Amino acid sequence: MSLEDVKREVALGSRILSITGLAAGVRASMGHVSLRDPSDPNRFVVKGRGYKIDVLARMQPENMVVCDLNGYLLDGPPGVLQCNEVMIHASVFKARPEVNSVVHVHPPFSVMMTVLGIPLVPVVLEGMRLVRHPLPVYRHMALITSAEQGREMAECLGKANAVHLLGHGETTCGKTMEEAVTNMVQLENQAQMNCHARAVGGPNHARITDDLIEEYLQWKPLSEPHFQEAVARLGPANMGGSIWSDLMDKAAKEMDA
Ligand SMILES: [Zn+2]
């Protein structure tokens, strides 16, 4: 994957944050997704700051900037700096060598539930593993702009895949951009559903229990005889046609139009 390919991926990922509503409306210019350069793990690509129209839905590959793991700008278009909170990405990449993508947005339900001091619990299937145990909370509202703030946030994240930034936003990460973005989409969906659960079921509403999560995780895809018979005749099914493929396709069609 060339650096140009990485820039294209990140431009598409930025647009996906808009398509999925995580950076849309009043928050259309808030947030960013980054991807570590596979050919040089000490640098990453992310959207910058200083565009004529600075919204994620308009990002193009040539708008992207390249930064190092200390947040310094290595390359980018004229007049464009690294984003204000570049240290969110730099600090997580530095602390977590297995992480290749980081997302930071300001999703309203997740932020509101954190302000209310209500830990998210699994109430729907999607993302239930992410919120199975209470997520860490970074208890400062200041934007993450210094190396020290970045380090503190990464320490707070620890080995988790998501951290709440109190009153401000959320940071998620993953081995791939698909994982990091999906974690954010599912986190915000769980937060929204937690809000509904509380409104309907009260403060002591039920949750999907650990036992039920374990039971679900025992599921072995396509192990049943009626599936095995079909696989034997027709071969394995294409399991790659995920929501992510659809989002990437939509984003690419818009970007290349
Ligand atoms: Zn922020």
Give the residue extent of every domain in the chain: 3-256
Q: What's the CA-to-centroid distance between 169 and ligand 1, angstroms?
A: 6
Mind listing the pLDDT tens digit for each residue in 141-186? Answer: 999 999 999 999 999 999 999 999 999 999 999 999 999 999 999 9
The CATH number, out of the four listed (3.30.56.10, 3.20.20.140, 3.40.225.10, 3.90.470.10), of the domain defined by the range 3-256 = 3.40.225.10
Pick from 106, 87, 124, 150: nearest CA to 208: 124
Digit-coded pLDDT (tens) for 38-79: 999 999 999 999 999 999 999 999 999 999 999 999 999 999
What's the gap in Å between 104 CA and the centre of ligand 1? Answer: 6
What's the pLDDT score for residue 182? 97
Distances (CA, A) of 163 to 58, 70, 202: 27, 20, 25
Q: Coil, strand or helix: which one is 233? A: helix
pLDDT more than 70, % of the chain: 99
Count of alpha carbons within 13 angstroms of residue 166, beta-carbon side: 13
Give distance in angstroms: CA of 74 to centre of ligand 1: 22
Half-sphere CA count of 233, side-chain side, radius 13 A:
5
Indicate the residue type of 106.
H
Q: How far is the CA of 106 from the centre of ligand 1 (A)?
A: 6
